[in-house]
Amino acid sequence: MNIVMLGATRGMGRALARLLAERGDRVFLLGRDPAELTRSAADLAVRAPNHKGFRGHAPCDLSDPGSFAPALRAAEGALGRIDIIVVTAGMFATQEELELDIDRTEQLLRVNFTNTVVFCEHARNTLMAAGGGTLCVFSSVAGDRGRKPVALYGASKAGLSHYLESLDHRFRDQGLVTICVKPGFVKTGMTAGLKPPPFAGEPEEVAHDVLKAIDAGRPLVYSPSIWRWIMLVIMHLPRAVMRRVGF
């Protein structure tokens, strides 16, 4: 398969890119940090069978919508037909940090929702122009319910999850498979410094779950899988209870 990945230079995205390259898929990387792109490119080139699975990289920054179309054109030029586009990029900050910095709040909301949706629209058009394909986007369990510790970050992911579900309803029968990934707490650079819960996941675990969902065309995947049941309980708690708990 010919796969474009935005945000595969670290964490869960890097783990998924490695799995794809190792099994022989042809991968083209998009990202905002040239040095990280170069390092990740070298890593994938070594991992790919016969060093043929990696197809190059191009700059693409979720804070700069003007970079979206040129990046996807570069990927098409290198791959030809694109079968799958994966978006793992995004921004995170704690609720406390965001409440103290309105400019950072605006940036997070814009990057995680507005600009990610705009990139997905570019991706949708690219895939459907070629007859269809798979769009796999990382959202978060933080968007499943309004909660004290992730009020602002969760709001950005709630909007993204809603959009991805709607996209799948609207275009699945036209050949576009949309997959929404909802990771729980995962030990990555994004969560460094935060106290992990007992059921915290690892990037490699999430990557394996996402790969299975891509191959099966499943529209929704929670990873680690226990988060599906945790959030099912949280979503049914009365509002009065949610006001009292710190989760």
- Token representation of residue 240: 């009065």
Q: What is the mean pLDDT of residues 56-61?
A: 94
* Beta strands 54-59 and 176-183, pairing class: unpaired
Q: Which domain holds residue 173?
A: 2-244
Question: What span, in angstroms and rounded, lies between the C-alpha atoms of 165 and 159?
Answer: 10
The whole-number average pLDDT for the span 200-205 is: 84
**Both tokens assigned to 56:** 């190059």
pLDDT, tens only, 107-159: 999 999 999 999 999 999 999 999 999 999 999 999 999 999 999 999 999 99
Give the mean pLDDT of the chain. 92
Domain count within the chain:
1
Q: How far, in Å, are 76, 169, 226 from residue 2 at the CA level?
A: 9, 24, 31
Averaged pLDDT for residues 215-229: 95
Confidence (pLDDT) at 117: 98
> Tens digits of per-residue pLDDT, 157-184?
999 999 999 999 999 999 999 999 999 8
pLDDT band at 246 (very low <50, low <70, confident <90, very high): confident
- Banded model confidence at residue 193, pLDDT cuts 50, 70, 90: low
Measure the CA–CA gap between 101 and 81, rounded to whole angstroms.
42
Confidence (pTM): 0.93
Better-predicted residue by pLDDT, 189 or 184: 184
Instruction: Give the span between the Cα atoms of 168 and 165, in whole angstroms.
Output: 5
Q: What is the CATH number of the domain that holds 119?
A: 3.40.50.720
Distances in Å between the Cα of 126 and the Cα atoms of 25, 73, 80, 129, 134 are 19, 9, 11, 5, 11
